[in-house]
Chain A
């Protein structure tokens, strides 16, 4: 970028700036989105003229309080952030994610990824972006555009945005950007940065495009007095925020994940209304859900991607269960992720200190107070890292790749489902079906991975792959909800959408030369079956093979015939148990852990693969660890609510992990700490 000095924009030339932003080169091509007053709040809206900016307006913000007051001055940026974050333009509250067209079962899905931040789909200017908001955009850049999968809609919108930032001079009592290291000074990520002073604006460029725009205006250099006034105004804002002494120690906030059972979670749950306001106004919250829709009789369907909130009961819900039923769990999840596990996940803080969640909370819950209450008694820097905000610079560098307009980073576009044909359907039990599906071109799936099985207009549940066999693969589905019931109803010749294989699979290669222990419970045997297939196919590469499976009753056993055959093999030790036996059952009765026989295994060199209900996995893990198997040689797979399968929707958060892309297979060293924590 060409070096640029600070320029001075006189107040009466603000209109020229707005004109130049909208018409660089003299032709109208860009929509200018800027702060305006609407319904008693400062919100973002398209403007045609500088006269539409909030002139002579101040905001009063406090926990649960937001109101505007009029003044006699001419200042147009003398307020802090309002309820609108720029994510509304980059990641709109609702957009079409998928379309499906066709009938007679010959239809196909298409990705609808051409969202735009502007009304006409062209370039857009964000005028009035604050430093904390630039940081927030960077945070969302990392989430949506730095892989492994990219939200192409976001990346496209991001590439079309010219950012004219404004340095804060009038912070609110809710601001704590200084605690989070994000403001109030604008340091990077902008094309222009304005600082409002009494008679106008000191303007600097942050990109070549910004330099060109300033040159087109022919602005004079800002003199020393005006530059000093601008610096003093920003420094004064920082001092004001610090003097409020209501900041939060960012390094202590990072320790929130150490207090999953703190009493404060119960206390805050008595005040929180779960209204979701905090997540809606948060500039970094990125969770979404896909609403599957259909047009009756038209052969058309699709999926609308909408903002979602981890405060809703449905957020952690899976068919027949809920991972965060209690409000305390949902509040803990939100704040712990935002301030603590976000660092482990994205190498950045999920909070930028804008304070919106404080002002717009109807009962005035102040995150700063909650963090202080939970981390009370903790001192000093987090020993896990050095400077907790050091990563910010790295995040900015990564975000710069987004502006180029092409797909940024290492990510690939989130793919639409590919249609595939069911070739057979076999009932395993009274409510569980194994579907054999012709592998569609391009689908690559490995043991332990899952696919999103999409039925137009119905849903897209994640289903583990239960067999991979040449030109076909299998999924085993238990009918526990509307979507899985519809999958169970599929018959040979029916078609469904498949995307995947997603997630980290079983590391079958690591078992080579080792004793292999496979422990499965109930439907949990389904994702383990490809491991068995692999091990048996390469039997000579493994030492002992021990397969222990449990089911509720003999009638609830899936793959029963295969497991019975396995019991007859001389080169495999296979045992099945049931919790409840009928008079005809002569096998073991009891929980699956009773089958385990550590004396038979080559202790330290064994590798274990485990899947089943969490409590079963926990008991199995104890037994395997007691047998001397290292935690990083014990592999477990887990379940969470998923909407996208590729790390973009936020639903499957588990501690610092996305189950969909960091799992679903984890080693026990990773997953062990979270087993048994209610509502995590």
Chain B
């Protein structure tokens, strides 16, 4: 991430940018800002670890984070990625407060984070604030659930490929020239 392009450092600005609590009374918003911090992490950093206690609720302000889970024999599989405006660490709001996936910074990221204990305290004392946080979280989870369902449908799977005939004779040499397997580089990966 280009440091010069990063404009958001103050929690209040970050809160406005991600549109969390925009409808809250001033006092409630102040309480939310009071427990918020802006965190910057470099690409590759692990933000949450599957099964560990969730440290904070976070909203991605900039960058991309990936949700991974470990599959024995297949390694770490990236299930989905989240971008600016999405949340991480929602499990901090509900018992037992442990992370469901390992989250790592795919790129440099800027997060607006709300440490669990502090957040739960202000939510307990301010119903408006709690409602705003839950609504924001539910909306984000709803989007993620909808997207996950589409992902489960495997929409791009298509029908199984039909074996391409391999003609004999003169055609076969010409065909061999063009029927080479593409390299990884050509796939842009």
Chain A residues within CB distance 8 Å of chain B = 319-321, 424-431, 478-482, 484-486, 488-489, 491-494, 521-523, 550-552, 554-557, 560-561, 563-564, 577, 579, 581-591, 593-594, 612-613, 615-616, 619
Residue of B nearest to A614 (CB): B155
Are B165 and A560 neighbours in the complex by a CB distance under 8 Å? no
Are A591 and B162 neighbours in the complex by a CB distance under 8 Å? no
Residue of B nearest to A488 (CB): B164
Of the candidates B64, B159, B165, B166, the one whose C-beta lies within 8 Å of that of A320 is B159
- Interface residues in B130-189 (C-beta closer than 8 Å to A): 143, 146-147, 150-151, 153-167, 171, 174-175, 177-182, 186-189
Cβ of B24 under 8 Å from chain A:
no
Of the candidates A320, A491, A554, the one whose C-beta lies within 8 Å of that of B175 is A491
Of the candidates B171, B177, B182, B188, the one whose C-beta lies within 8 Å of that of A494 is B171
Known interface pairs A522-B158, A560-B188, A582-B189. Does A485 touch B164 (Cβ–Cβ under 8 Å)?
Answer: yes
Q: List 12 A-B contacts (CB under 8 A).
A: A479-B163, A480-B161, A485-B162, A485-B164, A492-B178, A579-B155, A583-B76, A585-B78, A585-B189, A587-B81, A588-B83, A590-B81
Are A522 and B156 neighbours in the complex by a CB distance under 8 Å? yes
- Interface residues in B84-128 (C-beta closer than 8 Å to A): 106-107
Residues of B within 8 A of A585 (CB): 78, 189
| Smallest CB separation, B24 vs chain A (Å) | 21
Known interface pairs A480-B162, A493-B174, A590-B151. Does A555 touch B156 (Cβ–Cβ under 8 Å)?
Answer: no
Cβ of B9 under 8 Å from chain A:
no
Of the candidates A428, A492, A616, the one whose C-beta lies within 8 Å of that of B182 is A428
**Docked CA distance A428–B182 (Å):** 7
With most chain A CB atoms within 10 A of its CB, the pick from B150, B153, B167, B179 is B150
Residue of B nearest to A622 (CB): B146
Of the candidates A428, A479, A522, the one whose C-beta lies within 8 Å of that of B161 is A479
Residues of A within 8 A of B39 (CB): none
**Docked CA distance A479–B181 (Å):** 15
Residue of A nearest to B166 (CB): A489
**Docked CA distance A556–B158 (Å):** 11
**Docked CA distance A492–B174 (Å):** 7
Q: Mark B72-86, 1 if CB is under 8 A from A, else 0.
A: 000111111101000
Are B158 and A480 neighbours in the complex by a CB distance under 8 Å? yes
Known interface pairs A319-B162, A430-B161, A489-B165. Does A615 touch B155 (Cβ–Cβ under 8 Å)?
Answer: yes
Of the candidates B143, B150, B160, the one whose C-beta lies within 8 Å of that of A615 is B150
Top 7 A-B pairs ranked by shortest CB distance?
A320-B159, A431-B161, A522-B156, A564-B188, A491-B174, A552-B156, A560-B188
Are A589 and B66 neighbours in the complex by a CB distance under 8 Å? yes
**Docked CA distance A560–B188 (Å):** 6
Query: How many A-B residue pairs lie within 8 Å, measured between CB atoms?
Result: 134
**Docked CA distance A583–B74 (Å):** 10
Residues of A within 8 A of B179 (CB): 427
**Which DSSP category, helix, strand, loop or mixed, fits chain A's interface?**
mixed
Are A485 and B165 neighbours in the complex by a CB distance under 8 Å? yes
- Interface residues in B24-68 (C-beta closer than 8 Å to A): 64, 66
Residues of B within 8 A of A426 (CB): 178
**Docked CA distance A480–B147 (Å):** 27
| Smallest CB separation, B65 vs chain A (Å) | 11
With most chain A CB atoms within 10 A of its CB, the pick from B75, B78, B165 is B78
Residue of A nearest to B182 (CB): A427
Residues of A within 8 A of B174 (CB): 491-493
Are B155 and A522 neighbours in the complex by a CB distance under 8 Å? yes
| Smallest CB separation, A619 vs chain B (Å) | 6
Residues of A within 8 A of B164 (CB): 431, 479, 485, 488-489
**Docked CA distance A591–B174 (Å):** 38
Residue of A nearest to B186 (CB): A561
Residue of A nearest to B152 (CB): A579
| Smallest CB separation, A453 vs chain B (Å) | 15
| Smallest CB separation, A444 vs chain B (Å) | 28
Residue of B nearest to A585 (CB): B189
Are B162 and A588 neighbours in the complex by a CB distance under 8 Å? no
Residue of A nearest to B19 (CB): A599
Known interface pairs A560-B187, A615-B155. Does A593 touch B165 (Cβ–Cβ under 8 Å)?
Answer: no
| Smallest CB separation, A601 vs chain B (Å) | 15
Are A612 and B155 neighbours in the complex by a CB distance under 8 Å? yes
Are A521 and B156 neighbours in the complex by a CB distance under 8 Å? yes
Known interface pairs A485-B164, A585-B189, A590-B151. Does A480 touch B75 (Cβ–Cβ under 8 Å)?
Answer: no
| Smallest CB separation, B103 vs chain A (Å) | 12
**Docked CA distance A414–B76 (Å):** 56
**Docked CA distance A446–B146 (Å):** 36
Are B64 and A588 neighbours in the complex by a CB distance under 8 Å? yes
Are B188 and A594 neighbours in the complex by a CB distance under 8 Å? no
Residues of B within 8 A of A560 (CB): 186-189
Residues of A within 8 A of B159 (CB): 319-321, 480
**Docked CA distance A576–B118 (Å):** 38
| Smallest CB separation, B118 vs chain A (Å) | 30
Residues of A within 8 A of B83 (CB): 588, 594
Residues of B within 8 A of A579 (CB): 151, 154-156
Residues of B within 8 A of A587 (CB): 81
| Smallest CB separation, A564 vs chain B (Å) | 4
**Docked CA distance A204–B140 (Å):** 77
Are A589 and B78 neighbours in the complex by a CB distance under 8 Å? yes
Are A478 and B187 neighbours in the complex by a CB distance under 8 Å? no
Are B180 and A427 neighbours in the complex by a CB distance under 8 Å? yes
Residues of A within 8 A of B156 (CB): 521-522, 550-552, 556, 579, 612-613, 616
Of the candidates B80, B155, B160, B177, the one whose C-beta lies within 8 Å of that of A521 is B155
**Docked CA distance A641–B81 (Å):** 36
Known interface pairs A321-B159, A619-B150. Does A589 touch B188 (Cβ–Cβ under 8 Å)?
Answer: no
**Docked CA distance A426–B179 (Å):** 8
| Smallest CB separation, A188 vs chain B (Å) | 50
| Smallest CB separation, A482 vs chain B (Å) | 7
Known: A427-B179, A590-B80, A593-B150. 20 other contacts (CB 8 A): A321-B159, A431-B164, A478-B158, A479-B161, A480-B161, A480-B162, A484-B162, A485-B165, A494-B171, A557-B187, A560-B189, A561-B187, A579-B156, A581-B78, A585-B189, A588-B83, A589-B66, A589-B79, A594-B83, A615-B150
Residue of B nearest to A562 (CB): B188
Residue of B nearest to A583 (CB): B75
**Docked CA distance A588–B180 (Å):** 29
Known interface pairs A479-B162, A560-B186, A588-B83. Does A616 touch B150 (Cβ–Cβ under 8 Å)?
Answer: yes
| Smallest CB separation, A595 vs chain B (Å) | 8
Known interface pairs A320-B158, A427-B181, A560-B187. Does A485 touch B163 (Cβ–Cβ under 8 Å)?
Answer: yes
**Docked CA distance A676–B77 (Å):** 31
Residue of B nearest to A484 (CB): B162
Of the candidates B64, B158, B163, B171, the one whose C-beta lies within 8 Å of that of A523 is B158
| Smallest CB separation, A670 vs chain B (Å) | 22
Are B178 and A491 neighbours in the complex by a CB distance under 8 Å? yes
| Smallest CB separation, A575 vs chain B (Å) | 9
With most chain B CB atoms within 10 A of its CB, the pick from A319, A491, A550 is A491
**Docked CA distance A381–B87 (Å):** 54
Residues of B within 8 A of A551 (CB): 156
Are B171 and A320 neighbours in the complex by a CB distance under 8 Å? no
**Docked CA distance A587–B187 (Å):** 13
Are B151 and A427 neighbours in the complex by a CB distance under 8 Å? no
Are A584 and B153 neighbours in the complex by a CB distance under 8 Å? no
**Docked CA distance A488–B175 (Å):** 10
Are B189 and A584 neighbours in the complex by a CB distance under 8 Å? yes
Residues of B within 8 A of A554 (CB): 187-189
